[in-house]
Amino acid sequence: MIKLIVFEFQKHFLKPSIIVAVLLFSILSIAKIHSIQNANSLFSSSNTTPTWKGLYWNLYEEFGGPITNEKIEKLMAIYRPLENQTADRTASSDHNPDSYTGGNIYMDRNFFMWNYVNPMKYAYDYKIYANQVVSAAESNMDFFESIGNTYEYKKNAVIKERFQERSITIFSYKEMYHYYVQYDFSAFLVLLICLYSLMHVFISEKETDMEMLLLTTKSGNNKTVFAKLIASAVFVYMLCSWFWIVDFVAFSLLFGSFESASTPLYALEDFVNSSINVSLSQYALLSGLIKTFGIFVFSLLFLLVSCFFKNALVAFIVSLSFMISLIFMNEVYMGSGRTLLKIINPFVLVVNRELFRKMEFVDLFGYPMIHYMAAILLAVAWGLLLTLGITVFVKKNGLSKGAKRHAIMDL
């Protein structure tokens, strides 16, 4: 079986065209990340002067790490005079080489406000916010228990459990992660490579009229089909792993830092109501795994579609149409309150930040299941159905062709 899997992998995926596509798309992804950094980073040459970056890291040695009252007081002793002097916008905007940034007092104020004051305030206030959420959940639990609403009681109990004891005690540089968690371009590139690479996995036998071999090989019955599926799964996993590693390293190098690995996910303001309590590095790993599984479900869809056609180009166009339709549906329902319509689409796993940004629930026979769990279960169901569809269709198609061949021979 292992030899058969290796044979199928080498036959379908170790092609020069696929290797070239992976390399070119990797370069394209890195270029895209560079454009994001150049257009958005506070330290890019297109947005600020080079002195900002040097000043930030010099001050980071002093203000980075555990948040203490002493650090806050020291920071505000610098920022308050700048804020007061620029409050009525009458301060001089002339170039001042003696300013912190080497520009003027307005640039100094913006530097400290954007890079230190606002982020540190969010971190300092988050514990208060989390406690307020816990208090509200406890009040809701008391109310729903009094009226006998078990479902809402359980839902608020989950919210209380997730927000309890949340706090941000470390100030760290998070700009890289802010853009990293929003990055989906490489996932689209991976889907295109998968679409191209998987089209010939089952069609190749049809093109050479050797489809009966899937059922009559020495390996027997469905072993060849499963070998193709396992080889495809290995290819998808390796492809995704490569791109996710390239993404992470490229973001870290271009933004100039590997900081914040142990910082909680909810330290990012977009994830203030995050449904999971993990660090940023753990989220990067978790998101990559879920993204990979979502792409594998799409790959099974591509394989099933290819089973219906003898021409790879037609199968490619139909599969691409399905992919675009699912992406469009995800865009339509993203951010809406129609939770079930969002999570039934496997593409939600590919852009999975929407699953973790806030607490949403699905009613599973009276049990409030957090929607990212429901989305994963639905994707597993899709994967099993697609796998079953592939095996049944290939076997049925092979048997029907075999029966036709025998009928012709009898004539």
Q: Which of 171, 188, 220 is the last residue of a domain?
A: 171
Predicted TM-score (pTM) of this structure: 0.88
311 in a structural domain = yes
pLDDT value, residue 401? 52
User: Do 179 and 151 belong to one domain?
Assistant: no
**Residue located via tokens 């400290």:** 112
pLDDT value, residue 211? 56
The number of distinct structural domains making up the chain is: 2
Q: Which of 171, 190, 221 is the last residue of a domain?
A: 171
Residue ranges in the chain modelled with pLDDT below 70? 46-50, 205-221, 397-411
pLDDT value, residue 400? 54
User: Do 266 and 368 belong to one domain?
Assistant: yes
**Residue 45 is encoded by which pair of tokens?**
């040459």
Residue of 329, 359, 343, 352 whose CA lies nearest to 183: 352
User: Do 323 and 386 belong to one domain?
Assistant: yes
User: Do 364 and 231 belong to one domain?
Assistant: yes
Q: Hey, what long-range contacts does 282-288 have (CB within 8 A, 24 or more apart)?
A: 283/181, 283/356, 284/177, 284/180, 284/248, 287/181, 287/352, 287/353, 287/356, 288/240, 288/241, 288/244
| CA 399 – CA 285 distance, rounded (Å) | 43
User: Do 216 and 290 belong to one domain?
Assistant: yes
57 in a structural domain = no
pLDDT value, residue 411? 47
Full residue range of the structural domain in which residue 110 is found? 65-171
The enclosing H or E element of 51 equals helix 50-63
User: Do 70 and 20 belong to one domain?
Assistant: no
User: Do 75 and 106 belong to one domain?
Assistant: yes
Phi/psi-derived region of residue 167, left when phi > 0, alpha when psi is between -120 and 50, beta in every other case: beta
User: Do 256 and 402 belong to one domain?
Assistant: yes
Q: Distance of CA 99 to CAs 45, 48, 85, 149, 295, Å?
A: 19, 15, 13, 61, 51
- Whether 271 contacts 287, CB under 8 Å: no
**Residue located via tokens 């002097």:** 85
158 in a structural domain = yes
| DSSP characters over 60-75 | HHHH-EE--HHHHHHH
390 in a structural domain = yes
| CA 315 – CA 334 distance, rounded (Å) | 28
Q: Which of 171, 188, 206 is the last residue of a domain?
A: 171
